[in-house]
Amino acid sequence: MSKLPFGLSARHAVAVVVLACGGSVLAPVPAQALIEYPYCMRVYTRDQYEDCSYSTLAQCQLSASGRSAMCYRDPFYRGAPGTAYVVREPRVPYSPFGNIDPYYNPYRATVAPPPSRHIHRKPKRKTHRAQ
């Protein structure tokens, strides 16, 4: 078996790389700030959708040109008039899958329900004996 620098064999080097990559994937990610933009574009296609990621009306109109789309000011925008965007902290821990319960603890031990006292027994079959 060939030795690599630092006296590692190829098998150990692969294990080190796998552990390093796995550790970086499992590392906690800090909560991301939510950005609100003042202008939205509504696109009219088979599956209609809205894209609220424009700082100015001109940006939105350039994106909407040539498409079946409309630009409008976001009625729920919390920033002052004339501001390009607002950064706010999330109210709950950020999850790409939607809001999650901030009190959820995946490591909490749950108590199993007590066993049922009712014992299910099958009724005995009657056998007919010749007398």
Place of tokens 């965007």: 85
Better pLDDT: 29 or 37: 37
What pLDDT is attached to residue 114? Answer: 72
Q: How far apart are CA 8 and CA 24, in angstroms?
A: 22
Query: For the chain, what percentages of helix, strand and coil (3-state, to nearest 5) are there?
Result: 20, 20, 60
Least confident of 18-27, 33-42, 94-103: 18-27
Over residues 29-47, the mean pLDDT reads 81
Categorize the per-residue pLDDT at 103 as very low, low, confident or very high, splitting at 50, 70 and 90: low
Other beta carbons within 10 angstroms of residue 94's beta carbon come to: 15
Greater confidence (117 vs 36) lies with 36
Q: What is the pTM of this model?
A: 0.46
Tell me the pLDDT band of 109, cut-offs 50, 70 and 90.
low
